[in-house]
Structure 1
Amino acid sequence: MAEPTSLLLPDTGEPGFGIYIHWPFCAAKCPYCDFNSHVRHQKIDQPRFAAAFLKEMQEMRELSGPKTVTSIFMGGGTPSLMDPQTVATILDGIARFWNVPRGIEITMEANPTSVEAERFRGYRAAGVNRVSLGVQALNDRDLKFLGRLHSVEDALKAVRLAREIFPRMSFDLIYARPNQTVSEWEEELKQAISYAVDHLSLYQLTIEEGTPFFGLHKAGKIITPDEDRAAELYEATQDLTAAQGLPAYEVSNHARPGAESRHNLTYWRYGDYAGIGPGAHGRLSHGPAKLATATERNPERWLEQVEARGHGMVEQEALNRDEQADELLLMGLRLREGVDLARWQELSGRDPDPAREQFLLEHGFIERLGNSRLRCTPKGMLVLDAVVADLAC
């Protein structure tokens, strides 16, 4: 799977077909995280897990049929805890079950600790050509608050190394942290952009039920910005990134033109993707329906199920056309390019409700792009869930 060229295939604008691999293990659980991630103090049997990934791939291949892969994404958890050989085994397996052209985007999420950064060359040799670094903050005080194991110095070393090794690199930052001012965030964001990144994922801190932060927030020990301050931070984010040449192409994602995440575009354009590994979700076209798949979340139970019956799926639901239309709208309105109206009309069997659409247009929440696309305005992005709910009715 090693990729000999630094050039990735261009975005065609099509939804595409992606492969998502979920590596569920982390060195530590961050207090804000509600993802399916698990800490294990004993050594992980990576060859055994890799064999199970390949076995579940075979089942997913039966469901998807023959397809050409347009992107691969290894998320988690912390995929950069995998040995490079494990990554190579997984990527070679994907190429056995589906057609994988040279030059497609192959992303790995990584934490910027020095130990993991040393593995970068091995991942590149295995075929990874894009890395997404979980930096999260550029000051050590807030990194400690967020439960991160790395320092700013570790993060910047990893960023520099990733820039040298991978054709494309992104990193994540979390804002709307306690006591964070707009000016402080703008300075941090300028610093991030100065590291010659071509893609940034910028997320507002959310307090998710079931996380340690949830209890602390409920007890008043963590105070996040109110709605007005959060909106100010969001608007400052949009303005600054646009001025610096990384405009938002999705609610939380910013890129230089041509550097948008191909894999995430597959989600937001409502393409197909196979979700493989513990707790992975997928969407696979199956005749007129689309299958929504989900696998067992517990890594050890998933492993046992795959070894016993070939897959760890616990859900396989056939979505009807109305459900698909709702999902298309929910995902597509996150994008700056908006929703393909003809595709939505074909799935839903109707036009948008004229009165609801007119209301949203008049109040500046949505806009038409010719007769073919509908998108949220910057004002609409601030109340995206409400806009989607109005249009889906």
Structure 2
Amino acid sequence: MTPGLAPLGLYIHWPFCARICPYCDFNVYRARGETDTLLAAMLRDLEGQARQLEREGMHRPLVSLHFGGGTPSLMRPDQIAALIEAADRWFGFEDGIEIGLEANPKEAAGFADIVAAGVNRLSLGVQSFDDDVLRRLGRDHDGNSARRALDTLLALDVRHSADLIYAWAGQSLDDWVAEMDALLGAGVRHVSPYQLTIEPGTAFGKRADRGELLIVDEDEGARFFEVTQSVLSDGGVPAYEISNHAASASDQSRHNRLYWEGADWLGLGPGAHGRWGESGRGGRRATAALRRPADYIARVSLAGTGLEPIEILSSKDEAAERILMGLRTMDGLDRDCLRAKTSHDIDTDTSLDFARQGLVSLSQDRIALTPAGRLYADRIAQELVPE
């Protein structure tokens, strides 16, 4: 890694899905027709961003590359390979780079081809093994296809993860434990369990606005969260971040750690966001690409990049982001790093108050949430941002 610069990752957003899930508020569109025009725009955008970092003196090799979406497992292997090759050509890869991709169980027949294209970590969107639950969640796969996809994934020589969704209205704790036990019994080494949330503007959001009960209440949600931590930890897959559990440090998501640790990443593709730089090097840059694929393609054609004008974050806004993300990990927030990057520290009086309540563990150089504090992570982070 280049001395003095944070690790650099690349997030690639493929915005197309075969079906749009009713709980999803990501930038997604129904997959239709030809996609090579978008691929060509993304390749040109990648070149433009590489040249931008060169001009800023912040160009360096990538430590991670992650395909998200949308459903990037809908991409053809040659499209995946083209983006990986271009990323290597324009940036270079650090030894041991993680190249991850989020996969739908329905595309399991193509997993080996995805790996052959250069991917070395697959994240499988299992969500549930129960057919009724999958229908309720609007998924386009069933329990048997989830099991077959998991078997296919575990037979490949790649690092892996599996996602589950829980805390939907009517779910019992016994049923939830059975879902987790199924993953643990299969030998999954990384689990990402997500509580179902209702986002405005989604199909679930509109149903909730009409009074439909779709998720458990706050107290029951807390109980589900506590059981999740206990079952997965006892099963040898403890939490290293609030919604992510790994059997060992080598099984952790290296790309996601860039977000939580306040490192740098570029966003490529419609609606993708990026962050790079810091207050002491001209400011932390916040990038966002145009959301609609047609608009993104047109912007790249005109300007050589699909990005909106780059925003320079204030040192306080940068500190707020670093506090919010850093507190999500079990290691907690490195206060020395926060002060060095932003010239800000956490709010001292508030942190002492949270420590007295048993919600955080606190030292001069680090603050971390306790198990009790993890239930209130976002609120605690917001209140720790200095005035």
TM over 0.5: yes
Q: How big is the shift at 1:347?
A: 3.6
Structure 2 residue aligned with 1:275: 267
Q: Secondary structure at the match of 1:34?
A: coil
Q: So what's the TM-score if we normalise by structure 2? A: 0.94
Q: How big is the shift at 1:196?
A: 1.0
Q: How big is the shift at 1:187?
A: 1.4
2:207 is the alignment partner of 1:216: yes
Which of 175, 178, 184 is residue 169 of structure 2 equivalent to?
178
Which of 230, 243, 257 is residue 248 of structure 2 equivalent to?
257
Which of 18, 31, 40 is residue 51 of structure 1 equivalent to?
40
Cα pair 2:320 2:382 within 8 Å, conserved: no
Aligned mates of 1:351, 1:101 — CA distance in 2: 32
Aligned mates of 1:138, 1:19 — CA distance in 2: 32
2:335 is the alignment partner of 1:341: yes
Q: Which runs of 5+ in 1 are unaligned?
A: 1-13
Q: Secondary structure at the match of 2:299?
A: helix
Aligned mates of 1:80, 1:354 — CA distance in 2: 46
Q: How big is the shift at 1:354?
A: 3.1
Cα pair 1:84 1:122 within 8 Å, conserved: yes
2:152 is the alignment partner of 1:158: no
2:100 is the alignment partner of 1:107: yes
Q: Secondary structure at the match of 1:94?
A: helix
Q: Secondary structure at the match of 2:13?
A: strand
Q: How big is the shift at 1:162?
A: 1.1
Which of 278, 282, 289 is residue 288 of structure 1 equivalent to?
282
Aligned mates of 1:71, 1:126 — CA distance in 2: 16
Cα pair 2:189 2:237 within 8 Å, conserved: yes
2:22 is the alignment partner of 1:31: yes
Q: How big is the shift at 1:102?
A: 4.1
Cα pair 1:107 1:129 within 8 Å, conserved: yes
Percent identity over the alignment is 38
Which of 355, 373, 376 is residue 380 of structure 1 equivalent to?
373
Structure 1 residue aligned with 2:50: 61
Q: How big is the shift at 1:60?
A: 1.2
Aligned mates of 2:298, 2:315 — CA distance in 1: 34
Structure 1 residue aligned with 2:194: 203
Q: Residues 54-73 of structure 1: CA distance to partner in whole angstroms, max 9, x if unpaired?
A: 11011111233321211110
2:116 is the alignment partner of 1:122: no
Cα pair 1:79 1:109 within 8 Å, conserved: yes
Aligned mates of 1:367, 1:389 — CA distance in 2: 17
Q: Secondary structure at the match of 1:118?
A: helix
2:315 is the alignment partner of 1:324: no
Cα pair 2:129 2:144 within 8 Å, conserved: no
Aligned mates of 2:316, 2:341 — CA distance in 1: 6
Aligned mates of 2:351, 2:139 — CA distance in 1: 44
2:220 is the alignment partner of 1:226: no
Q: So what's the TM-score if we normalise by structure 1? A: 0.92
Q: 1:15 to 1:194 in 2, by over 3 A?
A: farther
Which of 177, 180, 186 is residue 189 of structure 1 equivalent to?
180
Q: How big is the shift at 1:168?
A: 0.8
Structure 1 residue aligned with 2:81: 88
Q: Secondary structure at the match of 1:344?
A: helix
Q: How big is the shift at 1:218?
A: 2.1
Which stretch of structure 1 is more off in the superposition, 190-199 or 202-211? Answer: 190-199
Give the counterpart letter for 1:364 in structure 2: G
Q: How big is the shift at 1:257?
A: 1.2
| Aligned alpha-carbon RMSD (Å) | 1.5
Cα pair 1:250 1:336 within 8 Å, conserved: yes
Cα pair 1:110 1:133 within 8 Å, conserved: yes
Cα pair 1:289 1:320 within 8 Å, conserved: yes
Q: Secondary structure at the match of 1:174?
A: strand
Q: How big is the shift at 1:315?
A: 3.9
Aligned residues: 375
Q: 1:350 to 1:306 in 2, by over 3 A?
A: closer
Cα pair 2:98 2:255 within 8 Å, conserved: yes
After superposing on structure 2, the runs of 4+ consecutive aligned residues of structure 1 that deviate more than 4 Å are: none
Q: Which runs of 5+ in 2 are unaligned?
A: none
Q: How big is the shift at 1:83?
A: 0.3
Aligned mates of 1:181, 1:255 — CA distance in 2: 24
Aligned mates of 2:102, 2:359 — CA distance in 1: 34
Give the counterpart letter for 1:343 in structure 2: C
Q: 1:228 to 1:309 in 2, by over 3 A?
A: same
Structure 1 residue aligned with 2:258: 266
Aligned mates of 1:351, 1:292 — CA distance in 2: 21
Q: How big is the shift at 1:333?
A: 0.2
